Amino acid sequence: MSNQIERLINIVEERKEDLVSLLKRLIEYKTPAPPARNTKEAQQFIAEFLEEKGFSIDMWDVYPNDPNVVGVLKGKEPTLYNSLIINGHMDVAEVSEDEKWDVDPFVPIVKDDVIIGRGAADMKGGLAGALFAIQLLHEHGIRLPGDLILQSVIGEEVGEAGTLECCKKGYKADFAVVVDTSDLHIQGQGGVITGWITVKSDKTYHDATRRQMIHAGGKLFAASAIEKMTNIIHGLQDLERHWAVSKSYPGNPPGTNTINPAVIEGGRHAAFIADECRLWITVHYYPNETHEQIIKEIEEHILHVAHADPWLRENPPTFVWGGKSMIVDRGEIFPSLEVDPNHPGVKRLSQTHEHILSKEAIVDVSPTVTDGGWLGDAGIPTVIYGPGKLQHAHAVNEQLSIQELVEYTKVILAFIYEWCHSKKSELTVE
């Protein structure tokens, strides 16, 4: 590692208060999702911050008052040296009125060597560290040979894929780091998809006809959609248990691939037999699986379940999968992300982590999901690497260790420098 970057790493420690102040500034922007539509002021700050450091800025509304910001710092020799995307989301988890915080969630404080405030761990800490690294590179006149792209996106907390919109615009790099909560582990992830399963009758009946459809001799071929949905739920549970027995993935605890019956809606009112029932499910699947594969497995299994029931055979369930927003169309997709430990970017990040922190880098699988799957889906080798512990994300008195923030900032600073000073290899994406 060059003497130049070693000096900058030491400066991170010396300017710890400036780093903390930058994170406080980001937390003070109230960007919870839901309700969302509130990130414009914060994203304008990011855009101006990057523009001052020589980045060209692309800022556009994904939703009204919720813009993405992409800053591009062109390298001196971009055709020869590796390019890098640093990705993070500006939205934070919602704050309910009945949550008992010690302080206002958007008035950050430092206490017992941690920063407390909504978004400290998830994931304004990651953004602050990356921005501070960029600031130090700029202040010391360091020009990178490879391109550096910073993406500050919206909507991750509610399944609104701001990162997907960046991919659609054609932003690519040889490697990407999503600076989301990982406790400084280098991570891939499983995937998540939501779906709606609907059981519906093409006829409606008064509740007084129930005797005719459930007792001998009633001669009314009909059923309650709510009761028939229990067949579907039992079928999903059987499939979930089968997956737990038959599937596994290194780094994931057994049975991580789950099918959660999250919300059920149905019926008109008490004077009707329920003629429709809708079940909202959330499915977690492994890093080596796709949502298309998972959809196929679930639909095939549930249609077999339906075929075994006389009424469902004539009134089979229907399926609607995914969505663009949990608050707009009540659905989401987070693609899975596999990490290749032999990729030059992963190796370089691991080596940088180990050199600076004097401890072994841990390459594993996140128990949650991030926007990293969208970058991987676009063909960009990607990892999750950021400060903060998941037990603090979304929590009352959300917090981030200042020491971990400093350590992360040192690593991401050195990695930006090292990766963008390394020549393109055969394994990187052109």
pLDDT category, 215, cuts 50, 70, 90? very high
Band (1; pLDDT cuts 50, 70, 90): confident
CATH top-level class of 3-189+337-420: alpha beta
Write out pLDDT tens, residues 16-35.
Answer: 999 999 999 999 999 999 99
What pLDDT shows up at residue 430? 38
- CA 69, 116, 367, 182 torsion-angle sign: positive
Q: Coil, strand, or helix at residue 56?
A: strand
- Give percent of the chain with pLDDT exceeding 90: 97
Chain segment 73-107, per-residue pLDDT in tens = 999 999 999 999 999 999 999 999 999 999 999 99
275 catalytically annotated = no
Q: Enter the DSSP assignment of 121.
A: I
- Reference 178, options 127, 121, 119; nearest CA is 127
**What is the rounded end-to-end Cα distance, in angstroms, of the chain?**
25
- The Cα–Cα gap between 12 and 136 comes to 8
Nearest CA to 246 out of 289, 197, 302 is that of: 289
pTM listed for this prediction: 0.94
The three-class DSSP label of residue 338 is coil
d(CA 259, CA 295): 12
Q: Are 280 and 196 in contact (CB under 8 A)?
A: yes
Rg (CA), the chain: 25
Tens of pLDDT, residue by residue over 148-183, are 999 999 999 999 999 999 999 999 999 999 999 999
Cα gap 43→49, rounded to integer Å: 10
Mean pLDDT, the chain, whole residue set: 96
Q: Which residues of 209-246 are buried (b: 16+ CB within 10 A; e: fewer)?
A: ebeebeeeeeeeebbbbbebbebbbebbeebbeebeee
Please state, in angstroms and rounded to a whole number, the distance separating the CA atoms of residues 93 and 158: 9
In this predicted model, what pLDDT tens digit does every residue of 339-384 receive, in sequence order?
A: 999 999 999 999 999 999 999 999 999 999 999 999 999 999 999 9
194, 281 Cβ separation under 8 angstroms: yes
> Is 29:39 a contact under the CB 8 Å cutoff?
yes
314 has catalytic annotation: no
Question: Which residues, including other chains, have CB under 8 Å from residue 10's CB and lie 6 or more apart?
Answer: none
Domain ranges of the chain: 3-189+337-420, 191-321
Query: Residue 421: what are its φ and ψ, rounded to 5°?
Result: -100, 5
- 104 touches 182 (CB < 8 A): no
CB–CB of 91/158 below 8 Å?
yes
Neighbour-count burial of 59, counting CB atoms closer than 10 A to its CB (0-12 exposed, 13-18 middle, 19+ buried): middle
Name the catalytic one among 156, 165, 275, 404. Answer: 156
The number of CA neighbours under 13 Å toward the Cβ of 334 is: 27
Q: What is the pLDDT of residue 427?
A: 44
Task: Check residues 161 and 430 and name the one with the higher pLDDT.
Answer: 161
Dihedral sign (CA 203, 298, 239, 237): negative
pLDDT for 429 equals 40
Identify whether 367 is preceded by a cis peptide bond (ω within 30 of 0).
Answer: no
Question: Nearest to residue 193, comparing CAs of 260, 115, 270?
Answer: 260
pLDDT 10s digits, 216-229: 999 999 999 999 99
Q: How confident is the model at residue 2 (pLDDT cuts 50, 70, 90)?
A: confident
Which whole number is the average pLDDT over 129-142?
98
CATH of span 191-321: 3.30.70.360
Q: One of 91, 122, 332, 418 is an active-site residue; which one?
A: 91
pLDDT tens-digit series, residues 230-282: 999 999 999 999 999 999 999 999 999 999 999 999 999 999 999 999 999 99
The pLDDT > 70 percentage for the chain reads 99
Which residues lie closer than 8 Å to 3 by C-beta, 6 or more apart? none
User: Does residue 57 contact residue 71 with C-beta atoms inside 8 Å?
Assistant: yes
